[in-house]
Chain A
Amino acid sequence: MTERRLVLTVNGLAASLADVPAGERLLDTLRWRLGLKGTKEGCRTGGCGACTVLVDGESSLSCLTLTHEVDGCAVTTIEAIASDPVGRSVRDAFEREGALQCGYCTPGFVVALTGLLKERGRSAPLEELLDGLQGNLCRCTGYVAIARAVRAAREATA
């Protein structure tokens, strides 16, 4: 057993973690060690996108990410997404456009879109953004209001 401490920057704060088993998923670390339950557990097989977080600014499925893999990385979750100006624009667009119902997929969508907008920048074509959200499932909205929010968030950050 080679237990070592992991140090992650989570939402801007250093989290020092001991005794993290090699197989522990980032999703569980966030939810059950750090109490950040805004990141949702859906299918745990990478099929729904509800657990999306940013790792060093890039959108990642926390259910398929081992916590040991992200030692030393910066993780951003829904709880802190609005401290980023792009994240705030995305959140406001979802609120304004009514792009949520039960809200369970919402953190994943907001984080994933924030990651896409930050990565692709202000010139990202709308189609590319929508395409980048194909891995996020929503069962309530039929995606109509979400697509509207994507358009609004893109305009707000352009």
Chain B
Amino acid sequence: MSAAKRPDAAVKLAGGAVYGTDLEAPGMLWGALVLAPVAHGRLRSVDLAGARALDGAVAVGPDDLASLLPGGGGDPERPIFPRAEISYRSQPVAAVAAPTLETARRAARAVRVDAEPLGVVADLEALFPEWPGSEAERSPDIAAHVHARHGGVEAAFRDAETVVRETYRTASIHQVALEPHACLAEVRDGVWRVWTTTQSPFGVREDTASLLGVPEASVVVEGTWVGGGFGGKGASLLEPYALVLARAAGRPVRLALGYREEFLLGRTTLPAVVRMETGVTAGRIVARRVRLLLDVGTSLPGRDFATGYSIGFLLGPYRTPAFEVEGYAVRTNKPPFGPHRAPFAPQCVFVVESHLAHVALELGLDPEEFRAAHLWKEGDPTPLGQPVGPCGLAAAFEAARALARRWRAEAAPGQGVGIGAGFWSTGTGAGGEALARLDGRGLTILQGEREIGSGSVLVGLRAVAAHASGLSPARIQIEYADSSRAPFDSGVFGSRTTAALGRAVEEAVRGLLTRLAERMGTVGPVTLEEAGDGLVAVHRSERRSVEELLTPEERAAGGLEASGRHYGRAGSIDERRVVAGTFYPYTDFTGSVHVALVSVDRETGSVRVDRYAAFQDVGRLVDEGSARAQVEGAVAMGLGTALTEEAIWSEDGRLENPGLLDYRIPTLGEIPPLEITFLEGFRGAGPDGAKGLGEPPIIPVPAAVAAAVRAASGAHLTELPLSAERVARALKLL
């Protein structure tokens, strides 16, 4: 297969792409953050005098916000510097800026932070040894509680022939986008302007305005090239600090994290504990109970999304007549929980798949047959009562089983084959808008997102516009503008860009075609075709030059314009099944099933993945090269989650391995040969039935690898990652 050339390849290969870390302005100062020295403490004072004594240095702390911010200090619920209480180690308590980075760092070290240490809550299980009970809703340690039930679960468990109970634990993992967070800020004439590396310019605008207590219209966010996001650059992080420094200094300020800080204060996935309980009668699941404790760090009450969303994945895509799920978002002295490519879903799927396989093996059943027998079919209700839409999951599962049988037949002693199955739903976000502009030579799409690397903007949106218009992608330009000029879009996350913003692009292009049809005196379908350098509009046998169909005013203004908007809505759930909290319905159902062939070293416990296959439901394949690239990248990232990645938090809330030498992500030599199969025809929520693809292919990876490890060695692991040490312990080698 020959991959299509990416439109951004040339500038990136020439070293000419300007990322957040490359930002610079004449006369700018270099910023640095002062980080809290304890994970929990009463803040007595922040003394900035030592910093301010340095040549050209500016320092801002909690007491300066009232005078610097027009609203008197920003959001009282979320002050950018803590006033009384430090709630995680490395929480920014002050910020400094100076003419050189060296001086800025010296200034940061010169700030005296006096804090009285308080007791630290870092370990979920130490906090709730007996698990939270009815008191949970009132506990300050619980940020959110979700609870749903259906089908008389107590009676179903009482009547079950067999009940299997297990506890699983999953690790904290980091996105590890290679580009750290970085931005440049300037405050002038009442405009708070920030250039930043972000997955969501509008999200940063909204969040920054709210944090600083300034009107949204006075904040302008301009995205740069983004050196990887994976969820870590979806919300504001440095922008408010850089803006406050720029306001205090009266000059532009650049603020960037070093990679150590990236680990220390980036928002990421934190540890979790899951209890699974399954009742089976005559080989059929009759009852399930799932309880989740999810560490959400210092997330604010009511702002936790992960618990309510992930809890649906903990039941898996399996029919269950009676169930109860309960999830607790637990506050600890760690940074707030942040999304990481399909937030927490790979971990959930590892738990469900490993547990149900274990149930089957306990009962002497084939684990794949057992899961296949319960797999959702279209029209089945989800646990929350939403009918399952078109989904390639069952077809993918069958194909994966056939491949697994072949691989098993070929496997050497010591090798094992496993299958992992998961699903996802194309995100909507708040919605998105786009503007299409047609002139005599080509089509331009104006929109508000920057390309973060996946190709979802520059390749995906172009492919959507090409599909809708009839033109080749080469005739389509994707244009970007800052948040004051671009149409709104909620962000490049949730696998939504090509799929959901793409719907707005599709609508805008169709709007243009409708206008052309009117001018051609028809209501029938019009498409565009290339004719030499120009374009023609085609309706049946009628062909008209686009140039001639435009009015002189439109020609002078740059072309004919039409806008499109897409504010997608998910389906609905059966609220009668909800006891407490918020559960989320799905927009569509995207199946991903993976097969792994692994070898387990019987002396060290280390796992090598020898072969790998992914069966990916895509709805409609928008661009094959980008789709393959998403699967390739997601599988590698998932192998890190499965095997090596673990941010280790000590009992006193300290991150023990904040760096790429101690937090190991996969390298080039660790990637197995990978076979990818796309399943089309199960329509999704995106343009012409496409489904979002950024996240789904990471979801089944840890589950598939764990199943293969068990098949290869007999080791049944209930903790992620499946490190050599854990495997060795499970095999009683340690």
Q: A residues within 8 Å of B by Cβ? A: 31-32, 36-48, 50, 77-79, 82, 91, 94-98, 100-107, 110, 130-131, 133-147
Contact with A along B4-41 (1 / 0, CB 8 A): 11101110111111110110100000000000000000
Chain A residues lying within 8 Å of B175, measured Cβ to Cβ, are 139
What is the minimal beta-carbon distance from A80 to any residue of chain B, in angstroms?
9
Chain B residues lying within 8 Å of A79, measured Cβ to Cβ, are 14-16
Chain B residues lying within 8 Å of A98, measured Cβ to Cβ, are 3-6, 9, 625, 629
Q: Which residue of B lies closest to A135 (CB)?
A: B667
Judging by beta carbons under 8 Å apart, are B178 and A137 in contact? Answer: yes
A134 to B19, CA, bound (A): 24
Most chain A CB neighbours (cut-off 10 Å) among B14, B15, B227, B629: B15
What is the minimal beta-carbon distance from A92 to any residue of chain B, in angstroms?
9
Judging by beta carbons under 8 Å apart, are A144 and B674 in contact? Answer: yes
Q: Which residue of A lies closest to B262 (CB)?
A: A43
Q: Please list the 9 inter-chain residue pairs (A to B) with the smallest Cβ-Cβ separation, ordered nearest first.
A: A38-B15, A102-B453, A104-B227, A142-B636, A103-B12, A98-B3, A47-B660, A78-B15, A101-B453
Judging by beta carbons under 8 Å apart, are A91 and B178 in contact? Answer: no
Most chain B CB neighbours (cut-off 10 Å) among A47, A101, A135: A101
Contact with A along B168-187 (1 / 0, CB 8 A): 00000001111110000000
Q: Decide: A91 near B668, CB < 8 A? Known: A98-B6, A103-B453, A140-B453.
A: no
Most chain A CB neighbours (cut-off 10 Å) among B6, B225, B637: B6
Q: Which of B14, B227, B674 contacts A82 (CB 8 A)?
A: B14
- Majority secondary structure of chain B interface residues (helix, strand, loop or mixed): loop
Q: Which of B5, B17, B176 contacts A103 (CB 8 A)?
A: B17
Q: Which of A41, A43, A102, A110 contacts B21 (CB 8 A)?
A: A41
Chain A residues lying within 8 Å of B453, measured Cβ to Cβ, are 101-104, 140
A33 to B15, CA, bound (A): 16
A50 to B452, CA, bound (A): 17
A79 to B674, CA, bound (A): 33
Given A98-B6, A134-B669, 18 further pairs, Cβ under 8 A? A32-B24, A36-B15, A40-B178, A42-B178, A42-B180, A91-B13, A96-B5, A101-B454, A102-B178, A103-B17, A104-B177, A104-B228, A139-B177, A139-B178, A139-B637, A139-B665, A140-B228, A141-B629
Judging by beta carbons under 8 Å apart, are A137 and B17 in contact? Answer: no
Contact with A along B220-254 (1 / 0, CB 8 A): 00000111111000000000000000000000000
What is the minimal beta-carbon distance from B670 to any residue of chain A, in angstroms?
9
Chain B residues lying within 8 Å of A106, measured Cβ to Cβ, are 12-13
Chain A residues lying within 8 Å of B12, measured Cβ to Cβ, are 100, 103, 106
Judging by beta carbons under 8 Å apart, are B226 and A102 in contact? Answer: yes
Judging by beta carbons under 8 Å apart, are A103 and B225 in contact? Answer: yes
Chain B residues lying within 8 Å of A82, measured Cβ to Cβ, are 14
Contact with A along B139-176 (1 / 0, CB 8 A): 00000000000000000000000000000000000011
Judging by beta carbons under 8 Å apart, are A43 and B660 in contact? Answer: yes
Q: Which residue of A lies closest to B4 (CB)?
A: A98
Q: Which of B5, B19, B660 contacts A104 (CB 8 A)?
A: B19
Q: Decide: A40 near B669, CB < 8 A? Known: A102-B452, A139-B637, A144-B632.
A: no
Judging by beta carbons under 8 Å apart, are B15 and A37 in contact? Answer: yes
Q: Which of B13, B258, B636, B665 contacts A100 (CB 8 A)?
A: B13
Judging by beta carbons under 8 Å apart, are A40 and B179 in contact? Answer: yes
**Interface: B634 (CB within 8 A):** yes
Most chain B CB neighbours (cut-off 10 Å) among A31, A40, A136: A40
Q: Which residue of A lies closest to B23 (CB)?
A: A37
Judging by beta carbons under 8 Å apart, are B665 and A43 in contact? Answer: no
B side interface size, CB within 8 A: 55
A99 to B224, CA, bound (A): 21
A102 to B179, CA, bound (A): 9
Judging by beta carbons under 8 Å apart, are B15 and A141 in contact? Answer: no
Judging by beta carbons under 8 Å apart, are A139 and B176 in contact? Answer: yes
Q: Which of A39, A41, A95 contacts B13 (CB 8 A)?
A: A95
Judging by beta carbons under 8 Å apart, are B9 and A95 in contact? Answer: yes
**Interface: B455 (CB within 8 A):** yes
Chain A residues lying within 8 Å of B22, measured Cβ to Cβ, are 31, 37
Q: Decide: A143 near B636, CB < 8 A? Known: A41-B21, A43-B660, A101-B455.
A: yes
A42 to B260, CA, bound (A): 10
Chain B residues lying within 8 Å of A102, measured Cβ to Cβ, are 177-179, 225-229, 452-453
Q: Which residue of B lies closest to A46 (CB)?
A: B661
A102 to B4, CA, bound (A): 16
A139 to B632, CA, bound (A): 10
Chain B residues lying within 8 Å of A37, measured Cβ to Cβ, are 15, 18, 22
What is the minimal beta-carbon distance from B323 to any residue of chain A, in angstroms?
35
Chain B residues lying within 8 Å of A147, measured Cβ to Cβ, are 668, 671
Interface positions, chain B 653-700, Cβ under 8 Å from A, are 659-661, 665-669, 671, 674
Judging by beta carbons under 8 Å apart, are A47 and B659 in contact? Answer: yes
Chain A residues lying within 8 Å of B667, measured Cβ to Cβ, are 134-135, 137, 143
What is the minimal beta-carbon distance from A93 to any residue of chain B, in angstroms?
10
**Interface: B512 (CB within 8 A):** no
A82 to B637, CA, bound (A): 31
Q: Which residue of B lies closest to A41 (CB)?
A: B21
Contact with A along B421-464 (1 / 0, CB 8 A): 00000000000000000000000000000001111000000000
Judging by beta carbons under 8 Å apart, are B178 and A105 in contact? Answer: yes
Most chain A CB neighbours (cut-off 10 Å) among B12, B228, B635, B661: B12
Q: Decide: A144 near B671, CB < 8 A? Known: A38-B15, A45-B659.
A: yes
Judging by beta carbons under 8 Å apart, are B14 and A78 in contact? Answer: yes
Most chain B CB neighbours (cut-off 10 Å) among A36, A46, A103, A106: A103
What is the minimal beta-carbon distance from A123 to any residue of chain B, in angstroms?
21
Judging by beta carbons under 8 Å apart, are B9 and A100 in contact? Answer: yes
A39 to B15, CA, bound (A): 7
A107 to B3, CA, bound (A): 20
A133 to B179, CA, bound (A): 19
What is the minimal beta-carbon distance from B384 to any residue of chain A, in angstroms?
33
What is the minimal beta-carbon distance from A149 to any residue of chain B, in angstroms?
10
Q: Which residue of B lies closest to A111 (CB)?
A: B15
Chain A residues lying within 8 Å of B668, measured Cβ to Cβ, are 130, 133-134, 136, 138, 143, 146-147
Q: Decide: A137 near B15, CB < 8 A? Known: A102-B179, A104-B178, A143-B668.
A: no
A21 to B228, CA, bound (A): 32
**Interface: B633 (CB within 8 A):** yes
